[in-house]
Structure 1
Amino acid sequence: MKLNRVPARTGLLWVRLGLRTFARQPLAMAGLFFMFIMGVSVLAMVPVLGAPLALALLPAATLGLMAATKEAASGHFPMPTVLASAFRAGRERVRAMLLLGALYALGSLVVMTLAGLLAGAPAQAPAQGGADAVLNDPAVLRNLAWQAVLYLPLGLLFWHAPALVHWHGVHPIKSLFFSLVACWTNKGALTVFMLGWSAIFLAASLVLVLLASLLGGTSVLQVLMFPVASLLSAAFFTSLYFTFRDSFLTDDGQPPA
């Protein structure tokens, strides 16, 4: 397995491939994404152990969506069982994926703890006022800002790691190193990729605001925001597979997976 350096413009290609593949199988990819979100959300509601377990399963769930993208890009209909791909690859790969998940959960805990400390104190949600009161709390905003900063290196460590573990049997610790190096090597393409998706989400938001102003104000916006954001998020996750596929080459010079 070798790193493959790609030009910055490849980031836009990844965006287009994600959108095109999603358009081929929109019901399947959207349905799998909703299953992924619902499964993680329900598990997170379990007292005490739910949230850590949900975090630990995120790498495996992300791998499942990447496997679904691979199926869809090949012209096949991805079945719901593809989400469990990480747990159908043999005992050794399953253990490796579980270790990777445990490392991700631990890293997330460290990020949240550090963010709380750097924000001055762990942010406590106001007893009254709902979401508006929470977002107007400076401690909450500082906490969220620090989380965004600290999650960046964690995200780069785990960007390619699940795919390396699952498809190529790379040890979880080594997969984190290779993922970080690959992301740094192709930082231009990844930056363009993220900017491209940010532009798509921003454009969709502006269209929704315009429609809401024409059709009935905030009530229309509230109705449309969740499904549109969910579909775009599903398309974003669909594009992740291509960032992995083009960032590595096998020893014979071919794209992996």
Structure 2
Amino acid sequence: MQAAILPVRAGWQWIQDGAGIFKRQPMPMFFWSLMTGFLITLAYMIPLLGQMALITAMPLLTFMSLCACRHISDGDPMLIHMWLEPLRKPDVRKRLVRLGFAYLACCLAGGFVSTLPFMSSIMNAVGSSGPIDELALMQAVRGPFITFGLLYVLISALFWHAPALVGWHRIKLSQALFFSMVACWRNKWPFLVYGLSWGAVFLAVQLLGNLMTDMGMDTSLAQILLTPLNLIVAALLYCSFYPAYVSVFGKNYPSAT
């Protein structure tokens, strides 16, 4: 697999192309954003196991998003029954499940590596008796959060293109991770623009919510009013995955999903 090297402006172009996909068929992608939001909420209602299941399912969900955007980009209507079509082939499903477990293992390893050097300070902040000093605990976990954030950038590069490479091209898991890492490294500046742009969008939504509450609006009402906007932003994010893949690897995938 040969990954193209794109200019810096490609990072913003992915977002624009994703918005174009959303405009073609907004309701299917809005529905997908709603469903993924429901799954995320459900996962966090089940302590630990729910989060682990969600992490494992991420390659499956990503591949379903890519296939939906592929249909829309090709001008085909995205119907309800088509969402599960990418997972009906046993070999594709098994490959994506293995990829999901690899993703979970990397996240767990990253969490362990980032937490272990700070374990003594965390235990001192928690203490063996008496109330927990929240300020000391927040300071103690700052280091692990920053370290894991840096490690997660590497993990994300490994797995960013892997669902498409495994699902469409059906190449080995190790090769998919390698090709994904190389593609992300070759396009590190476009991905930086892409990440910063989405960070700015999510920050703007957060600031809008803060502005609404500062003006006297009830917090629950503000969250309700912002829910459709959050769903649209999430849908646009999912739509931008496909242009990022196609611009790097091209449309040289098999015709059948």
TM tier, smaller: 0.7 to 0.9
The separation in 2 between residues aligned to 1:52 and 1:248, in whole angstroms, is: 30
* Residues 1:196 and 2:197 are matched in the alignment: yes
1:112 lines up with 2:92 in the alignment: no
- Is 1:155 the counterpart of 2:156? The answer is yes
| 1:95 matched residue in structure 2 | 94
Q: Distance in 1 between matches of 2:43 and 2:210?
A: 33
Q: CA deviation at 1:191?
A: 1.2
Give me the TM-score of the superposition, normalised by structure 1.
0.82
Alignment size in residue pairs:
250
- Distance change (3 Å), C-alpha of 1:50 and 1:204: closer
Q: Is the 8 A contact 2:122 2:137 kept in 1?
A: no
Cα-to-partner distance string for 1:175-228 (whole Å, 9 max, x where unaligned)? 000000000111121111112222222333344444444463655544444443
Q: Aligned letter for 2:140?
A: A
- In structure 2, runs of 5+ residues without a counterpart are none
Structure 1: distance between partners of 2:207 and 2:19: 19
Counterparts of residues 130-209 of structure 1 (less than 5 Å): 137-209=138-210
Which stretch shifts more, 107-116 or 212-221? Answer: 212-221
Contact 1:119 1:146 in 2 (8 A): no
Once the 2 structures are TM-superposed, how far is the Cα of residue 229 of structure 1 from its aligned partner? 2.9
Out of 53-62 and 37-46, give the one that drifted further: 37-46
Q: Please give the secondary structure, in 1, of the residue aligned with 2:84.
A: helix
CA-CA distance at 1:154 after TM superposition:
0.5
Equivalent position of 1:3 in the other structure? 3
Once residues 167 and 75 of structure 1 are traced to their aligned partners in structure 2, the CA distance between those partners, rounded to angstroms, is 19
DSSP-derived class of the 2:31 partner: helix
Relative to 1, partners in 2 of residues 1:209 and 1:38: Cα closer, same or farther, differing over 3 Å? closer
Task: Please give the secondary structure, in 2, of the residue aligned with 1:15.
Answer: helix
1:143 alignment partner AA: P
Preserved CA contact (<8 Å) 1:208 1:224 = no
Aligned residue for 2:78, secondary structure, equals: coil
Structure 1 residue runs of 5 or longer lacking an equivalent are none
Residues 98-157 of structure 1, C-alpha deviation per residue, up to 9 Å, x if partnerless? Answer: 21111011111111222221333596998xx9xxx5997223333322221211100110
Change in Cα spacing, 1:219 to 1:84, as seen in structure 2 (3 Å) is: closer
CA drift of 1:87 comes to 1.9
Residue identity matched to 2:53: L
Rounded to whole Å, the distance in 2 between the matches of 1:215 and 1:61 is 38
Change (3 A) 1:217 1:151: same
SS of the aligned residue for 2:231 comes to: helix
The Cα of 1:2 is off from its aligned counterpart by: 2.0
Cα 1:209–1:45 shift into 2, 3 Å: closer
Counterparts of 1:18 and 1:34, CA distance in 2: 17
1:35-55, CA deviations, whole angstroms, 9 ceiling, x for partnerless residues?
123235435655775443332
Q: Which residue of 2 aligns with 1:59?
A: 59
**Mean CA deviation greater in 75-84 or 14-23:** 75-84
SS for the counterpart of 1:77 is coil
- CA deviation string 1:214-256 (max 9, x = no partner): 463655544444443333122112101111111114xxxx554
Task: State the partner residue of 1:18.
Answer: 18
Q: Percent identity?
A: 28
- Which is further off, 175-184 or 71-80? 71-80
Structure 1 residue matching 2:119: 3-state secondary structure: coil
